Copies of this chain bind each other. A is one copy, B any other.
Amino acid sequence: MTPALRDLSRLCIHTATTKPWGIEEAVSRYSAAGVRGITVWRTAFADRGPAAAGRLIRDSGLRVVSLCRGGFFPAGSAEQRARAVDENRRCIDEAAELGAPHVVLVCGSAAGQPLEESRRQIADGIAAVLPHASAAGVRLAVEPLHPMYAGERSAVNTLGQARAICSQIGSPWVGIAVDVYHTWWDDRLEDEIRACGRDGRLLALHVSDWRTPTVDLLEDRGLMGEGCIPIRRIRGWADDAGFGGFIEVEIFSRRLWARDQARFLDDIKEAYLAHV
């Protein structure tokens, strides 16, 4: 049994989790609540820009854990794929300005072609932006997405596939983001997390919960403890594999966005200590 976490020192929250808050309110609320890290969605700094958002965050005492998100490499035409590579370079620049050590990649999938072709295009896209990433000092974290997103959001649907892409590219600037929501069902998960750790590729750990029933494919995630994911057990596997980094709460939920966000933040802290 993995022991509970004793404090909030590894707690990070994604701006998308408390979407009704703008970034200023998120930063001041998280900081006042004792949260230590923040992962910023690109939409969150639209107005002020990444450099100013980074200063705001550092001034509050929070750490920038990650920028969400790059990726979406596959497309039917070479021109579209080249545009995606350009967009990922911009995203990497923003991460550098923000002060984020890595960009999470939602790799993409093009419905009109076989998944293995999309997977090839993903590897090619990552390879194409890699020099830009290493020059900027920004790592790329491949996030396998749940198989229910294979048709449009990501053709990378298991940790095994993410590891295969990392091995193929073979750069210290490419690693993996493990999200319990996307991966909990996989009977290879424990072994794969161990292998990610052994390879030094475990860059991020995202937590939320899987509700039964789930009524929406995108925006019905649960707060930790509201669902059936063995979150603490998976977090234990990650820590046993040498992870030890920030644990990022990433919850997309219309139900929870409709709540009073200050009380929701209290509940996140409580659920984090009780279930992660």
Question: Which residues does A use to contact B, with CB under 8 Å?
Answer: 111-112, 114-116, 119, 146-148, 150-152, 157-158, 160-161, 184-187, 210-215, 217, 227-228, 230, 233
Given the complex of chains A and B, what is the CA–CA distance between A186 and B187 in angstroms? 13
Contacting pair A114 B212 (CB below 8 A): no
Most chain-B Cβ atoms within 10 A of its Cβ — which of A114, A119, A187?
A187
Contacting pair A186 B147 (CB below 8 A): yes
Partner of A185, one of B157, B160, B228: B157
Partner of A112, one of B114, B214, B228: B228
Q: Can you list 26 pairs linking A and B with CB atoms under 8 Å apart?
A: A111-B212, A111-B227, A111-B228, A112-B228, A114-B230, A114-B233, A115-B185, A116-B187, A119-B187, A147-B147, A147-B186, A148-B148, A148-B217, A150-B210, A151-B211, A151-B212, A151-B214, A151-B227, A152-B212, A152-B213, A157-B185, A157-B187, A160-B187, A213-B217, A214-B217, A217-B217
A146 cross-chain contacts in B, Cβ below 8 A:
147-148
Contacting pair A210 B114 (CB below 8 A): no
Q: How far is the CB of A229 from chain B (nearest CB, A)?
A: 8
Given the complex of chains A and B, what is the CA–CA distance between A146 and B186 in angstroms? 11
A161 cross-chain contacts in B, Cβ below 8 A:
187
A151 cross-chain contacts in B, Cβ below 8 A:
210-212, 214, 227-228
Q: How far is the CB of A141 from chain B (nearest CB, A)?
A: 20
| A160 to chain B: closest residue by CB | B187
Beyond contacts A111-B228, A147-B185, A151-B228: 12 other A-B pairs, Cβ-Cβ < 8 A, are A112-B228, A115-B187, A146-B148, A147-B147, A147-B186, A150-B184, A150-B185, A151-B214, A151-B227, A152-B213, A160-B187, A213-B217
Given the complex of chains A and B, what is the CA–CA distance between A230 and B114 in angstroms? 7
Q: How far is the CB of A22 from chain B (nearest CB, A)?
A: 28
A233 cross-chain contacts in B, Cβ below 8 A:
114
Contacting pair A148 B186 (CB below 8 A): no
Most chain-B Cβ atoms within 10 A of its Cβ — which of A116, A160, A213, A233?
A213
Most chain-B Cβ atoms within 10 A of its Cβ — which of A116, A211, A212?
A212
| A220 to chain B: closest residue by CB | B217
Given the complex of chains A and B, what is the CA–CA distance between A265 and B91 in angstroms? 48
A147 cross-chain contacts in B, Cβ below 8 A:
146-148, 185-186
Q: How far is the CB of A108 from chain B (nearest CB, A)?
A: 12
Given the complex of chains A and B, what is the CA–CA distance between A102 and B145 in angstroms? 34
A187 cross-chain contacts in B, Cβ below 8 A:
115-116, 119, 157-158, 160-161
